[in-house]
Amino acid sequence: MAEHLIEGMVNALSSLPGIGRKSAYRISFHLLRQDPAVFNGFIQSLSEVKGRIRFCSRCGSYSEEEICDLCLSEKRDGHTVCVVEQPEDVFFIENTGEFKGRYHVLNGVISPLEGVGPQDLRIRELLNRIEPENLKEVLVATNPTLEGDATADYLNHQLKNFNISVTRIAYGITVGGSIELADQYTLGRAIRSRLKL
């Protein structure tokens, strides 16, 4: 029987974020039903992307080259850096079309419970960019979680030694959301982050 092989495939797929066992089974059976040429093309595409993608030596985002296109672009505001937790956050912010500066990826957040401290993140690399790049503003775009807020507070403390503006993305109740459905933490942050009308 092929059950142990299918189970191995399901285990591999369910290790991916956001994919539970039920979804992993559906994906597995879908892939097994595919024409071998289509399936092999899918696997080859994944392998090629994984082999060609590296991390930008300056910002830490995904890149095909030593330094990514966003860091090299003359059209970007080189005096403003947006600090994010993970490389994929760069893509989400870029998709808004609202941010025109450059980026810096921390590769995580401060999380004492998971044994992650400031020394485990790319904070030193950020501080080393400030004077050579003549940065004027650091926009901290960590997630609105306890760990994200702790990381933002730590960065703010570290950046006080520089003549630089430190800002934080606004957050709170989502557009189209309602107060009654917001959790206590989100509603509290929305109140503390209120804007003047």
What pLDDT, on the 0 to 100 scale, is given for residue 137? 95
d(CA 92, CA 13): 23
The greatest distance separating any two alpha carbons of the chain, rounded to the nearest whole angstrom, comes to 67
Dihedral sign, Cα of residue 154, residue 155, residue 161, residue 167: negative
Domains of the chain: 3-52 (1.10.8.420), 74-168 (3.40.1360.10)
Tens of pLDDT, residue by residue over 72-116, are 999 999 999 999 999 999 999 999 888 999 999 999 999 999 999
Q: By C-alpha distance, which of 152, 134, 149, 159 is closest to 188?
A: 149
The rounded distance, in Å, linking the Cα atoms of 126 and 98 is 22
- What does the pLDDT read at residue 195? 62
- pLDDT of 175 over the 70 cut: no
Model confidence at 197: pLDDT above 60: no
List the Cα angle 16/21/25 in 5-degree steps: 100
pLDDT number for residue 156: 95
Helix axis angle for 146-159 and 123-130, nearest 10°, is 30
* Strand order from edge to edge, sheet including 77-84: 101-105, 77-84, 137-140, 165-168
User: Band of the pLDDT at 184, cuts 50, 70, 90?
Assistant: confident
The overall average pLDDT reported for the chain is 90
Q: How far apart are CA 146 and CA 75, in angstroms?
A: 35
The alpha carbon torsion through 26, 32, 35, 36 (nearest 10 deg) reads 140
Start-to-end Cα distance in the chain: 67
Confidence of residue 188 (pLDDT cuts 50, 70, 90): confident
Contacts of 98 (CB under 8 A, 6+ apart): none
Q: Tell me if the pTM is above 0.85.
A: no
**31 Cβ contact partners less than 8 Å away, ≥ 6 residues apart:** 9, 39, 42
Tens of pLDDT along 33-65?
999 999 999 999 999 999 999 999 999 999 999
